[in-house]
Structure 1
């Protein structure tokens, strides 16, 4: 069964690349995968759900690359940032059709629209965090403005350069041109103290479904904190306490830091806690499991 699902995903990727997402039908995917429509719907409820699965896979790979590049200690942070911004630009250009769907189609699957909105916001949040890392914590009051400026400048320059020859080289030129301009902008904002986009403004950009997820993450952290405190009070070996705490930290890290949390990691950690942790923690572990399921 898994082989069929993998084949559907593989063929759908090929067809999306050749025909474009909007021009691809379920019938095209079924024919290329050499399966029946019934088999397709055993795995996916719609073309949109299949596209989300594919996009999440590629998005997960992208952020693994970004984390690896930003962690490269053989180069300056700004060089790492430039490489990562180039990766982001190339990713968004490669997937421009899908990323722009909710702007061009009024009638679109709501879950798909929500997912795409989350993708765009995740990219902005990642750039925001890297700006703080590269330019320093003292840019925090202006970081929302800097994020909008850097993304706006880069993508407009790339759009203007996209039809020229040596497009890839032009993207590199754009990245460094904009980053060099950012140096001057950062100094100016620190000097003038001008702030246009506040945290309240940013909160207005966040759709309700993402706001709900943020609140659920807060509740999850509270439950984990409660469990960590209760573990300390248990009369068990210190080595066992350490194992329970590490399982909780692994769960939080997996859900908090990955666009596509790995189900086997989450279920493995939960199973360990349910089977091995003291009975006094059963209630909190049940609450933890329910909260995690509401986030996935």
Structure 2
């Protein structure tokens, strides 16, 4: 992503948060980002395309940070999960997505609402998978109910906490609220399993299956992305950046990629590029790599 396109996305995010998506005009975007109409339409076909780009960047950034917490840690570590959950909320706040969500949900526009719902669907689906990591296969039939309960407890504690604590600095933190909710879930999950108790879980599972729109990239897709990325690196690119890029290309080009190595290298790859002009592309590639490694892990578990 070039700097001009990034400038347009940042301008749109600012305007959508301040004025609301519906009230922001294309001319507002042109004035804020100091570009011509032709330049805007060279990058985006509409305001909605720009909104999707904003949400995708937020989602990819959250995915990277969630993966970072897992480096050197066990999947069933509840402290890691609490930190990962809080990261979603932190990214939403840092990128000022909350007022954008609010303006869209009150807009009455069904297509826009669907766009935001896709963002939330991805997070619900991710957390349902982490329920299995933390609580084991026995929770699988009830993972969506557990997901609903956990998100519900966290959001309500943060909401009520913001009402009952006057100084914002004293409000419950997302990490503390996540830890507290997980401790309560420890007592609830045995009851779900023992009583075979499902409520909204099956409905949520069907809804996610019917409405999710993200596709796990193929091995060849990742290779093509990496090779294109590598080709566009400047001669001044640091050696470690090039080495991690080449390592990923080599592993994915192998008939039997070593996914346990790839997952770690992908983080190093992202980390070396995170403050460069290639940060957005590196985030997208690393996120695609982790989608593949997660899918391969799930396939391996299913065959056991």
Q: What band does the TM-score fall into relative to the shorter chain? A: 0.5 to 0.7
Query: Over residues 131-185 of structure 1, what are the superposed CA-to-partner deviations in whole Å (9 max), with x where a residue is unaligned?
Result: 1111222112221211111111111222222343245750233222211111111
State the partner residue of 2:235. none
Query: Once structures 1 and 2 are overlaid, which stretch shifts more, 34-43 or 61-70?
Result: 34-43
Q: RMSD value over aligned CA atoms?
A: 3.8
Change (3 A) 1:34 1:202: closer
Q: Does 1:179 align with 2:182?
A: yes
1:51 Cα deviation (Å)? 1.6
State the partner residue of 1:80. 80
For 2:256 and 2:57, locate their aligned partners in 1 and report how far apart those are by CA, in whole Å.
26
Q: Is the 8 A contact 1:72 1:80 kept in 2?
A: no
1:193 Cα deviation (Å)? 2.9
State the partner residue of 2:90. 90
1:28 Cα deviation (Å)? 1.8
Tell which structure's C-alpha radius of gyration is larger.
Answer: 1
For 2:55 and 2:129, locate their aligned partners in 1 and report how far apart those are by CA, in whole Å.
23
For 1:158 and 1:98, locate their aligned partners in 2 and report how far apart those are by CA, in whole Å.
19
How do 1:1-296 and structure 2 match up within 5 A?
2-73=2-73, 77-92=77-92, 94-107=96-109, 110=111, 112-163=112-163, 164=165, 165-166=167-168, 169-171=171-173, 172-197=175-200, 199=202, 201-206=203-208, 208=210, 210=212, 243=253, 245=255, 262=285
Change (3 A) 1:130 1:11: same
Change (3 A) 1:73 1:169: farther
For 1:208 and 1:189, locate their aligned partners in 2 and report how far apart those are by CA, in whole Å.
25
Number of residue pairs matched by the alignment:
233
Query: Over residues 79-108 of structure 1, what are the superposed CA-to-partner deviations in whole Å (9 max), with x where a residue is unaligned?
Result: 111111111233345422333455322235
Structure 2 gap segments, 5+ residues each: 220-249, 267-280, 290-304
Q: Is the 8 A contact 1:92 1:99 kept in 2?
A: no
TM-score, structure 2 length as denominator? 0.63
For 1:205 and 1:145, locate their aligned partners in 2 and report how far apart those are by CA, in whole Å.
13
Q: Is the 8 A contact 2:122 2:212 kept in 1?
A: no
Change (3 A) 1:206 1:70: same
TM-score, structure 1 length as denominator? 0.64
Change (3 A) 1:100 1:206: farther
